[in-house]
Amino acid sequence: PAVVRAEAVQAYSDAMMMLFGQQRHFRTWLCIYPTVLMMRLFKSFAAQPRLAVVTETFKNAASDMFHFFIVFASVYFCMSLNAVLFFGQDDVNFARLDWALFHVWRVMLGDWDWESLRSIGREKAFAWFSMLMLVVVVIMMNILISILMGSYAEVKRAADHADSLFRQVLNMIRRARETRKGKRVRLNDTQ
């Protein structure tokens, strides 16, 4: 009986682990729906020129951003490789290139531990950190912002004369009232 019970418990445990794995897999796929919904919202924003400013800005800047990201990826990869060479023996976060790519991203966004960086020597850590902050954070991020702002200015200028969303809703209400009163003929009613 004890052997049978142990086998039953093991079978139950295996079934539960498989169920948990399937549930995690299902939740991962379930996350796709809000992403698709977000994309559909961006598509529907195109119907109103002032709401379409964001999507049109990205469309307008796509070529410049593509070329920018080629340069950014090159610089970012080199800085991550430098981090592996500088810090790899002393800090587990930089021991492998894939870990360093992730950790350099965190450092770039402001999440760094100076004490662990300093473990290789204050001067080398300061040189690497200063180079990362100057080249990647200050210069490259400002170039990205200027690309987006230039594109935004063009798109905004084109959308300035379009009706606002509030004005568009008021026009729709006015047209509906005029149609009910017989002062306006619907397009479907014309021959």
Per-residue confidence (pLDDT) for residue 116, from 0 to 100: 80
Mean pLDDT of the chain: 89
Evaluate if residue 190 carries a pLDDT over 80: no
CA distance 110 to 144: 18
Tell the burial category of 61 from Cβ atoms under 10 Å away from its Cβ (0-12, 13-18, 19+).
Answer: buried
**162: pLDDT confidence band, cut at 50, 70 and 90?**
confident
CA distance 21 to 44: 36
Buried b (16+ CB within 10 A) or exposed e, 66-92: eebeeebeeebeebbebbbebbbeebe
CA distance 129 to 126: 5
* pLDDT tens track for 10-41: 999 999 999 998 998 899 889 899 999 988 88
* pLDDT tens track for 111-142: 888 888 887 888 888 999 999 999 999 999 99
Per-residue confidence (pLDDT) for residue 78, from 0 to 100: 95
Evaluate if residue 191 carries a pLDDT over 70: no
Residue 186 tokens read as 């619907």
Most confident option among 46-50, 143-147, 165-169: 143-147
Three-state DSSP class for residue 30? helix
Per-residue confidence (pLDDT) for residue 153, from 0 to 100: 94
